[in-house]
Amino acid sequence: MPARTANRDDMKVERVSDVELVVTRSFDASARIVYELWTKPEHMKRWWAPKAFGAIMYECDNDLRVGGKYRFVFGKEGEPKMAFVGTYKEVVPNERLVATQLFEPMPHVGEAIITTTFAERGGRTYLELRQRFPSKDVLDATIATGMTEGMRLTLAQLDELALAHSSDAAR
pLDDT tens sequence across 114-128? 999 999 999 899 999
Inside any domain, residue 83? no
For residue range 138-153, list pLDDT tens digits in order: 999 999 988 899 999 9
Contacts of 5 (CB under 8 A, 6+ apart): 28, 163
User: What count of other Cβ atoms lies within 10 Å of the Cβ of residue 64?
Assistant: 16
Inside any domain, residue 170? no
Inside any domain, residue 7? no
Nearest alpha-carbon partner for 97 in 31, 145, 10, 150: 31
Helix, strand, coil percent values for the chain (each to nearest 5): 30, 40, 30
Q: How large is the average pLDDT for residues 155-162?
A: 95
Q: Is residue 170 predicted with pLDDT exceeding 90?
A: no
Can you name the residues that pair with 39 across neighbouring β-strands? none
Confidence (pTM): 0.91
Inside any domain, residue 157? yes
Range of the domain at 52: 12-58+91-99+111-165
User: Would you give the DSSP letter of residue 23?
Assistant: E
Q: Is residue 4 predicted with pLDDT exceeding 70?
A: no
Specify whether the CB–CB gap between 87 and 93 falls below 8 A.
Answer: no
Q: Count how many domains the chain has.
A: 1
